[in-house]
Structure 1
């Protein structure tokens, strides 16, 4: 059993930071016709395309951490908006590949600039985007993201409390 904490837990702080970021990105990319989730998808597609990849919806889901069904829904909405094209993978007819349209690339480039400005604001208290503290913070976040979490069964947790 742990000692009672007087301040917020790291989990609460991570949640609050993620919510702050999501809301800020939502507001910033809304004038471009995007949501934060759609931005995550098109920005990832943009980076993958620059690396010579045309990912499947599944690959993009794995990359972004979004559920495959949600990526499919987002991709359909982005296709309807003329920003993404969805095609069958010639090697696997069950898989759907995604690519940005010309308009999608233009909107994504503009969105990336806007979000980059937000990131600079967010990291200013750590010395700015290129500071040693910001780089250490990024490494720490990557470490936490790479750490698998297994759910603790409620019964085991209850036993610890008694």
Structure 2
């Protein structure tokens, strides 16, 4: 069945898809890392972003889920980040049997440089915007993402 282009949310989904595709493209990620003087593959960049945005540690299984990796691939990623001095394993304070992966000071510096490059891109894209429009977009995106990340109700509790 073909998508309904007349649906009220079709244009929003189309623009979000274009944005996510471009933002996560290998070419753009390589350009950003080169401009920041960072030598990381795109998956490692996403892991640094994830750990930096969350501001704490994540279990390797969470990294695997969030980055759409197999558990063995996530384990190899953690080894690469650790060997590069960007992350370290620590005991999970909530479960001493488990470990979390956290950015080191070097990893936090890399995260700040990558994040700053992203802010620069957003700044350039909105350079001719009214500052109130930039703030409004930020508020609307915050609200939108909150709606997307809200846990689904239990199947029996869904409103039809």
Could you tell me the TM-score, scaled by structure 2's length? 0.62
Contact 2:46 2:67 in 1 (8 A): no
Unaligned runs of 5+ in 1: 150-162
Tell me how far 1:97 sits from its aligned partner.
1.1
Q: Within 2, Cα distance between the matches of 1:122 and 1:144?
A: 25
Q: Within 2, Cα distance between the matches of 1:88 and 1:56?
A: 10
Deviations 1:133-156 (CA, angstroms, capped at 9, x unpaired): 31244135415522678xxxxxxx
Q: Within 2, Cα distance between the matches of 1:66 and 1:137?
A: 25
Q: Within 1, Cα distance between the matches of 2:54 and 2:5?
A: 43
Structure 1 pair 124–148 and aligned structure 2 pair: CA distance change class (3 A)? farther
Within-5 A mapping of 1:131-142:
131-139=134-142, 141-142=144-145
Aligned positions, number:
142
Within-5 A mapping of 1:143-154:
143=146, 145-146=148-149
Contact 2:88 2:104 in 1 (8 A): yes
2:40 aligns with: 34
2:155 aligns with: none
1:16 aligns with: 18
Within-5 A mapping of 1:8-157:
10-23=12-25, 24-30=28-34, 31-49=37-55, 53-60=56-63, 65-67=66-68, 69=71, 70-89=73-92, 91-93=95-97, 95-124=98-127, 127=130, 131-139=134-142, 141-143=144-146, 145-146=148-149
| RMSD (Å) for aligned C-alpha atoms | 3.7
Could you tell me the TM-score, scaled by structure 1's length? 0.62
Contact 1:119 1:129 in 2 (8 A): no
Structure 1 pair 3–29 and aligned structure 2 pair: CA distance change class (3 A)? closer
Contact 2:85 2:107 in 1 (8 A): yes
1:156 aligns with: none
Contact 2:57 2:103 in 1 (8 A): no
